[in-house]
Amino acid sequence: MAHYQILIIGGGTAGIMVAAQLMKKQKGLNIGIIEPSENHYYQPAFTLVGAGTFDYQKTVKPTLDFIPKGVQWIKDSVTKLIPDENRLETKKEQSYTYDYLVVAAGLVNNLDGIEGLREGIESGVVCSNYVDPRKTWELLQKFNGGNAVFTQPTTPIKCGGAPQKTAYMSAHYFKKRGISSKTNVVFATPGSVIFGVKIVAETLMQVIGRYNIHLKTFYAPQKIDSVNKIIYFREVGSKENMCVINENNVLNEKHTGDETIQIPFDFLHLAPPQEAPAFLKYSELANEAGWMNVDHNSMQSNSHSNVFGLGDIAGLPTAKTGAAIRKQVPVVVDNLVRLVKGQKADNKEYNGYSSCPLVTGYGEMVLAEFNYKNEFTPDPELKKMLIFKSFKPHWRLWILKKYMLPYLYWNKMLKGEKV
C-alpha cells in the first residue's frame, strides 16, 4: 500500500495548480496526483469553439506536460474515500494512504438528469458545449431559422454564465448570417434574474434587448422530446412569479398542465445537470447536497482537518470557475504547508471571489467579478491593466478572453506561477 505525504485527487486546473504551488513553496514534499485522463483541457475556450472562433485542438494538451517535476502521477480513478483511516481506494483496486488529502476532482455531467437529454445528445439533435462544442458549431451552421432555445438546469454548473454566453454568441452569429428576422432566440433559466450581480445584470439586460432575446425566468428544463423537437419546462416561480405566455405567441409556447410549458425548437443548446463524482457525493466528506463540505474561507474539510476540497466540487456559495480556483489555491497551499510544519491551518483569506467572462458577441465581452456577497469586485491588477469599467462590453476584454487567458493558463497558472 503506497503512502503519500500529500495526495491530490484530480489533475485538472485545481489539482495541478495545488501541486505546482506546493512544490515551489515547500521543497521535498512527497506528493501524488490521482488522474485517469491523459489529456488536459482548457475548458473556458469551449464557448468560443462552439461559436466557430477558437480551434478545439488548442484546448487540449497532454496531462504529462503539466505534472510538476517530483510529483507522482497515478493514472487511476478514485472509487471510495475512507477518511477516518486516511485512505482511499481506486478503480484499479489499489489502496493509498496519506497524511493530507486534497479533493479537486471536478464535477461530472449527468445526462440522465433531464428526461430525454441523453437521447437528444446521442442522436445529434441537441448540443452542449459542456459535452462537445464542435457539435454546437456544426448545428449552428445548419440552422436556418425558427426557435433557437438555450437553457440550463436547476443544479449548480461549471461557469454558470456559459449557457447565456452561447446564446449571445449565437444571436450575433444569426445576425451576421442575416437570419435574425426569421429566428426567435430564447434564453430560459430556472433563476429569477439574468445574473446575480446587479450592475452586471443591468448590462446583460441591454444585451438581451439588443439581440431581441426572449428571456424566460423561472423555467426549469424537465424533458426533451428530440423526435418531435419539443422541450418541456417546469415552472419554478411562486404564484406571484408565474410564467406567462404572451398573446403574441411567436414561440408557439403551450401550457400542458398547471406547471408545465412546452416550446418547440429548431436548435437546442443546454448545460446538462451536473454533480460531484459518486465517490465524493456519497462519502462522509460531502454535505447534504452532495458537494464537498468545507469551510468557506479556508477550504478545509469541516469533518476532517487533514482534508481540503476546492474547485468545482467544493460546496461554496460562489460560481464554479477557473478564476475562483486561482484565488482558492494559494489559501489551500498555505494551509497545507502550515500543517506540514506543525502549525494551525488558519489562513481564511478566500472571500468567495469568482469571475465570469461573459462573451456578449464576436469581439466583445463583459467581465463579471464578485464575492460571496455578490458585490462587484474587480481584481486590482486586472483593473489597472484594462483601465476601464469591465462590467460593460469591450473589445479589450475579448482579447483577454481569446488570447491572453489561454496563454496565462498554459504558461503561468498550471506551472504554479502567480497570475
Q: Which residues are catalytic?
A: 159, 356
Q: How far apart are the first and last CA of the chain?
A: 37
Residue the block writes with cell 471510495? 80
SS3 content of the chain, % helix, strand, coil (to 5): 35, 25, 40
Q: Exposure pattern of 110-134 as b/e (b: 16+ CB <10 Å)?
A: ebebbebbbebbeeebbbbbbbbbe
Residues in the chain: 419
Q: By C-alpha distance, which of 333, 393, 404 is closest to 368?
A: 393
- In whole angstroms, what is the distance from residue 193 CA to residue 191 CA? 6
Residue 28 backbone dihedrals phi, psi, to 5 degrees: 85, 5
- In whole angstroms, what is the distance from residue 8 CA to residue 4 CA? 9
DSSP lists the bridge partners of residue 103 as 9, 309
- What does the block give as the cell for 32? 501524488
DSSP lists the bridge partners of residue 264 as 230
- In whole angstroms, what is the distance from residue 340 CA to residue 96 CA? 19
Q: Which residues contact 298 (CB under 8 A, 6 or more apart)?
A: 308, 331, 332, 335, 345, 346, 347, 348, 350
- In whole angstroms, what is the distance from residue 281 CA to residue 68 CA? 28
Q: By C-alpha distance, which of 148, 157, 81 is closest to 113?
A: 157
- In whole angstroms, what is the distance from residue 366 CA to residue 356 CA? 8
